[in-house]
């Protein structure tokens, strides 16, 4: 993976005909964010796990890099599935929007959005208060943006750590056998992941993190027009407990969390709220901690994509339309 490019990519081989381009959230980077989905993804196609440059963030350069990746995929004869979470979902929406504005709509085999944050206006009040001082400092309204960001770094670390299982002790195996219990093995595995995330966050320069926040402020979210943004089969997944991160009444979140509104933007959209196997709530973009819950939906969606031809009329998508109770009445 080349780290000094606008969109560093870690590549994994997989069978034709699909290619999955995966965009992470604000933190952690792609290899950590998609760690527990990569094996699933490689069963369905080649995989490109993207990260944001550690040397800074430039939205225009990032979108150009996505265009280049799409050209590369087309030249290889594969069909691209764009998979994005959180902040990466906002980047994906901005890319789709700019392609539509150029009258060159994206040709995708599929689209997956996990807890997409379309713009900074979709942030929860807690995160809005965190981002506010950084934005004010960047805009010259007082303070140092890097200082403001350092004050919030611990919060971003907590945000990233929420996606990993908590470091719980093995309680069900007695004495000397406890270190060999499944819970103990899981705890050690998750400590390794937490250490990787902590190391990546510590290595991210303050100015580069500020540029990511600035990039978030540049995202415009969904267009106001009624023209569909993407007609490819689309899966939109929301954690059942998003409120600590996103305002679900925001301009983008409020539309994409409702099937009747989401299908106006993505006609072949399926909207799902993700719960744990025991019925527990799942936080925002928790693809590590709740991998099984997310992978169930992802595997089913990807398993159906290869049955579709590369280009197909939207009038003949009956084999892929969402579940009846999640479909807009007019669709």
224 and 119 assigned to the same domain:
yes
Question: Rounded to whole angstroms, how far apart are CA atoms 243 and 41?
Answer: 28
User: Parallel, antiparallel, or unpaired for β 18-23 and 45-50?
Assistant: parallel
Q: Are 294 and 114 in contact (CB under 8 A)?
A: yes
Residue 181 lies in a domain: yes
119 and 242 assigned to the same domain:
yes
pLDDT of residue 313: 35
88 and 170 assigned to the same domain:
no
As for how many domains the chain has, the answer is 2
57 and 152 assigned to the same domain:
no
Q: Are 193 and 162 in contact (CB under 8 A)?
A: no
What are 87's two structure tokens? 């902040």
130 and 106 assigned to the same domain:
no
Final residue belonging to a domain, choices 216, 245, 274? 216
Place of tokens 């009956």: 318
Q: What is the pLDDT of residues 294-321, one digit of tens each?
A: 999 999 999 999 644 444 333 333 344 4
Beta bridge partners of 246: 123
Helices (H), 181-309: 182-203, 206-218, 253-256, 259-265, 291-304
Residue 118 lies in a domain: yes
133 and 120 assigned to the same domain:
no
**Is the pTM here over 0.85, yes or no?**
no
Q: Is 283 helix (H, G, I), strand (E, B) or coil?
A: strand
Residue 302 lies in a domain: yes
148 and 113 assigned to the same domain:
no
Residue 4 lies in a domain: no
Residue 158 lies in a domain: yes
Is the N-terminal amide bond of 28 cis, ω within 30° of 0? yes
Question: Rounded to whole angstroms, how far apart are CA atoms 184 and 313?
Answer: 51
117 and 130 assigned to the same domain:
no
Tens-of-pLDDT digits for all 331 residues of the chain? 545 578 999 999 999 899 999 999 988 889 999 999 999 999 999 999 999 988 789 999 999 999 999 999 999 999 999 999 999 999 999 999 999 999 999 999 999 999 999 999 999 998 888 887 777 777 777 677 667 666 656 556 656 665 555 544 444 555 555 554 555 555 556 677 777 777 777 777 777 778 888 899 999 999 987 889 999 999 999 999 999 899 999 999 999 999 999 999 999 999 999 999 999 999 999 999 899 999 999 999 999 996 444 443 333 333 444 443 333 333 2
Beta bridge partners of 45: 18
Q: What is the pLDDT of residues 35-72, one digit of tens each?
A: 999 999 999 999 999 999 887 899 999 999 999 999 99
Residue 320 lies in a domain: yes
3-state helix vs strand vs coil in the chain, percent to 5 = 45, 15, 40
Q: Could you tell me the CATH number of the domain that includes residue 229?
A: 3.40.50.1820
Residue 106 lies in a domain: yes
110 and 53 assigned to the same domain:
yes
Question: Rounded to whole angstroms, how far apart are CA atoms 201 and 291?
Answer: 22
Residue 264 lies in a domain: yes
Burial label, 200 (beta-carbon count in 10 A; 0-12, 13-18, 19+): middle
137 and 185 assigned to the same domain:
yes
Which residues span the domain enclosing 141? 125-216
Final residue belonging to a domain, choices 187, 216, 245? 216
Exposure b/e, 98-133, CB count within 10 A at least 16 = b: bbbeeeebbebbbbbbbbbbbbbbbbbeebeebbeb
139 and 105 assigned to the same domain:
no
Final residue belonging to a domain, choices 185, 216, 247? 216
91 and 201 assigned to the same domain:
no
CA end-to-end distance (rounded Å), the chain: 43
Backbone angles phi, psi at 276, to 5 degrees: -70, 165
């Amino acid at each position: 993976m080349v780290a000094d490019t606008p969109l560093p990519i870690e590549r994994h081989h997989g069978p034709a005909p699909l290619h999955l381009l995966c965009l992470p959230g604000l933190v952690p980077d792609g290899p950590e964010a998609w760690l527990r989905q990569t094996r699933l993804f490689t069963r369905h196609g080649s995989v490109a796990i993207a990260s944001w440059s550690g040397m800074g963030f430039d939205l225009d350069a990032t979108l150009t890099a996505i265009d280049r990746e799409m050209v590369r995929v087309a030249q290889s004869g594969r069909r691209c599935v764009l998979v994005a979470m959180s902040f990466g979902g906002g980047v994906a929406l901005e890319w789709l929007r700019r392609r539509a504005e150029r009258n060159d709509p994206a040709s995708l085999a599929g689209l997956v959005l996990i807890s997409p944050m379309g713009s900074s206006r979709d942030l929860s009040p807690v995160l809005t208060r965190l981002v506010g001082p950084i934005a004010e400092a960047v805009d010259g309204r007082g303070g140092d943006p890097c200082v403001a960001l350092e004050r919030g770094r611990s919060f971003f670390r907590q945000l990233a750590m929420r996606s990993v299982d908590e470091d719980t002790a093995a309680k069900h195996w007695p004495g000397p056998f406890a270190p060999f219990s499944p819970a103990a093995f899981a705890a050690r595995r998750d400590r390794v992941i937490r250490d990787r995330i902590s190391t990546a966050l510590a290595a991210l320069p303050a100015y580069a993190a500020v540029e990511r926040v600035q990039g978030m402020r540049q995202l415009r979210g969904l267009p106001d027009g009624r023209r569909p943004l993407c007609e490819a089969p689309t899966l939109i997944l929301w954690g059942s407990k998003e409120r600590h991160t996103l305002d679900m009444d925001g301009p983008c979140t409020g539309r994409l969390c409702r099937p009747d509104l989401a299908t106006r933007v993505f006609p072949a959209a399926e909207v799902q709220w993700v719960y744990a196997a025991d019925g527990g709530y799942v936080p925002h973009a928790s693809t590590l901690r709740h991998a099984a819950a997310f992978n169930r939906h992802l595997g089913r969606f990807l398993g159906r994509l290869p049955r579709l031809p590369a280009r197909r009329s939207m009038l003949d998508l009956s084999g892929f339309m969402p579940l009846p109770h999640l479909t807009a009445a007019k669709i």
